[in-house]
Structure 1
Amino acid sequence: MENCMIKKVAKISKDIDATDEVELSWFDMQKPNLTGVSKNGINFVVKAKFTHLHENDILVCEDDYAIKVKRSADEVFVLEFSDALVFAKTAYEIGNRHQPVMIEDYKITLLDDISLGDIIKDCYTNENINVEKTKGYFKPNGKAHHSH
């Protein structure tokens, strides 16, 4: 019944061997406090000592059990714009929600987040915006998801 015990992560290492791994979303990798379950069914907890996790970090537990962090695909919306003003207004509205975004030429990719539901709904009704819900690897511009 070792799997019922929760292992506490003592440190994060790089380039060491790991006996297990866990897939985490971009959002989960940003959390200072995280609980998870590895592929081998091991429950673990990471506390706020660490800023955030990166792909290929090795979570080393107090008993030296090592879990490699892998990146999972995120549920994202890809918004493609045919009009510069609509693009600017939509980017402004999303920015006011303090949500992380990936901005490219006439294209915004954002995480599927309940706080953006009304904006996404409006995008679907705008003929100048093509909306696609998909899975992808989210990598926001700048220092996204900061605290004030």
Structure 2
Amino acid sequence: MIAAENVVERGRHTGDFADTITLDEGQRHRRRMAMVSDGGIAFLLNLPEARLLREGDGILLDDGRVIEVKAKPEALYEVRGRDAVHLLNLAWHLGNRHLAAAIEETRILIRQDRVIREMVEGLGGTVKEVEAAFDPAGGAYASAHVHEGEAGHHPHGHGAHSHDH
């Protein structure tokens, strides 16, 4: 089987891509897994450590071909504030709960969660259900990516900061 042990970060591949692979955010956080590109190229992803493959990254196959990573649209919440300062305040509250978030100039994209929606709306933010590619910010602890269902697990101690849970 063809192996892939390296990733070319987005914007660094200068040639043509051999194919694409379209994955949601959860499927893009990988270390080792058999995969099949959108056009049918089967390969074994075998990275030295788990990482989040980003939209536009290239998976370098051992035969020299490069597969472009595409982010599959997912059901998300689009969070907006009244103004930039209010949006920053909402971002702080989301970050305080260790939520994966894609932060843009005028909105924040997060996974759908009824409790979080109620919190954001209670803080005066607007929440809209959208289908979009989810490419969350890496953050200070990006190498210890927390997956859905691991609530309460943190890759760091709590001595340096305090927050609500």
After TM superposition, the score normalised by the length of structure 1 is 0.61
Tell me the percent identity. Answer: 22
- The residue aligned with 2:71 is 71
Cα offset, 1:22, TM superposition: 1.0
Which stretch of structure 1 is more off in the superposition, 128-137 or 47-56? 47-56
Cα offset, 1:64, TM superposition: 4.3
Confirm or deny that 1:120 pairs with 2:117: yes
Sort the Cα spacing of 1:144 and 1:72 in 2 relative to 1 into closer, same or farther, 3 A: farther
Alignment RMSD (CA, Å)? 3.8
- The residue aligned with 1:129 is 125
CA contact (8 A) 1:99 1:145 kept: no
Give, in whole Å, the separation in 2 of the partners of 1:58 and 1:19: 10
- Structure 2: which 5+ residue stretches go unaligned? 145-154, 156-165
- The residue aligned with 2:5 is 10
Aligned length in residues: 138
- The residue aligned with 1:3 is none
Sort the Cα spacing of 1:121 and 1:138 in 2 relative to 1 into closer, same or farther, 3 A: same
Give, in whole Å, the separation in 2 of the partners of 1:7 and 1:85: 49
In the alignment, residue 12 of structure 1 is paired with which amino acid?
Answer: V
In the alignment, residue 21 of structure 1 is paired with which amino acid?
Answer: T
Give, in whole Å, the separation in 2 of the partners of 1:82 and 1:131: 12
> 1:23-64 CA deviation, whole Å, 9 max, x = no partner?
234454443445533112333332332644344433233344
CA contact (8 A) 1:76 1:110 kept: yes
Cα offset, 1:95, TM superposition: 1.8
CA contact (8 A) 1:77 1:112 kept: yes
Give, in whole Å, the separation in 2 of the partners of 1:130 and 1:53: 29
Sort the Cα spacing of 1:23 and 1:142 in 2 relative to 1 into closer, same or farther, 3 A: closer
- The residue aligned with 1:41 is 40
Sort the Cα spacing of 1:87 and 1:69 in 2 relative to 1 into closer, same or farther, 3 A: closer
After TM superposition, the score normalised by the length of structure 2 is 0.56
Give, in whole Å, the separation in 2 of the partners of 1:108 and 1:48: 33
CA contact (8 A) 2:4 2:47 kept: no
